Amino acid sequence: MFVVQSLPAAIVFCIITMLGWGSWANTQKLAGKEKWPFELFYWDYAIGVFLFSLVFAHTFGMFGDAGMSTRANMHSIDFGFAIPALISGAIFNLSNILLVVGIDAAGMSVAFPVGVGLALVIGTVESYIGAPKGDPALLFGGVALIVLAMIFSAVAHSRLPHGGAKNPRRGLIYSVFAGCIMGFFYPQLMRSISPNFNSTEILPGMLTPYTALVFFGVGVLVSNILWNTIFMRAGGQTYSAYFKGSARLHFIGILGGCIWMIALSFNVLASSVAGPAISYALGQGATLVAALWGLLIWHEFRSARPGTGKFIALMLAGYAGGLVLIGAASR
């Protein structure tokens, strides 16, 4: 299987993660502009996550001489080690649906900094406790700067008029819940993966990243039957409406899921070198990318009161400074 073996390559993979996690929500914005409800969009998103996990496992997971191939690993796993990956998919799925509701109600530049920022703090702390790798002072200093950036984001949000989004308060509340839940999916996923997965002799019964990501994708898709059905009922959507959507709308949703899953896959591969805490924290720099999309492309703060720009600048500076410290912590 393909593995990452150097720190510079791991950092590049984390940057790709950051770009992917910060950009997939543009597909939801595109679908929303065509009046496609987020509940229906999310079915295609979940399908995209699962499909890419299969493609990744049977391409990158089968190439090269390092580690154990996906096929060989599938025949040797202990299902008890697969359960955390399945649970991780279900946890992530619930949190991400809540985040999608937050984006739909409050916009990317509000929902992402709050929801994903909280997830970054929780996930980084828990991942570091599980695998303490990197300079803790730099790592948690970077996390502290990102918390400050979240505060400035909330201040900037408070300066939006009530008409600046569909329902800013509802979006903010959903984003907070999303972040609190999302912070636990990554450490849970890593419990399935052998810590020495770069070696051909992984710990007995444990999973390679490629196998774990397939089970994660299954967890996302299966849990969607429960989580998304609840939101569909609440929103008055039906399954028949889903099948009436155009091929273009379905493609947009599947593309969004594939983009997100590419980012997660690269992040997990990078974790063997950078460490799970640093790898996850760098990837969650997606908050900065998403905020820039919301500000520069979707113009989500154009109706804010004068003087809001300074809080937005402080928010962006906090995220950028935090990411620099987290990256330096990997040395």
Convert the pLDDT of each residue in 84-120 to its tens digit: 999 999 999 999 999 888 877 877 667 777 787 788 8
Angle between helices 25-33 and 247-274 (to 10 degrees): 170
Owner of token pair 């903010």: 172
Instruction: Kindly tell me if the per-residue pLDDT of 162 is higher than 60.
Output: no
Rounded to a whole number, what is the distance in angstroms from the first to the last CA of the chain?
26
| DSSP per-residue string spanning 104-119 | HHH-HHHHHHHHHHHH
Convert the pLDDT of each residue in 177-227 to its tens digit: 999 999 899 999 999 999 888 776 788 899 999 999 999 999 999 999 999
Task: Give, for 295, the enclosing helix (H) or strand (E).
Answer: none
d(CA 233, CA 239): 10
**Spatial contact of 257 and 49, defined as CB atoms under 8 Å apart:** yes
C-alpha dihedral sign at 236, 25, 33, 292: positive
Least confident stretch, 132-141, 231-240, 255-264: 132-141
Least confident stretch, 2-6, 237-241, 273-277: 273-277
Radius of gyration of the chain (CA): 19
Helix (H, G, I), strand (E, B) or coil at 65: coil
**Spatial contact of 148 and 293, defined as CB atoms under 8 Å apart:** no
Convert the pLDDT of each residue in 256-312 to its tens digit: 999 999 999 999 999 988 888 888 887 877 777 877 887 888 877 788 888 888 998
Q: Which residues contact 89 (CB under 8 A, 6 or more apart)?
A: 185, 215, 216, 217, 218, 219, 220, 221, 222, 223
pTM for this predicted structure: 0.86
Owner of token pair 């599980």: 130
Q: Which residues contact 126 (CB under 8 A, 6 or more apart)?
A: 183, 184, 187
Mean confidence (pLDDT) of the chain: 88
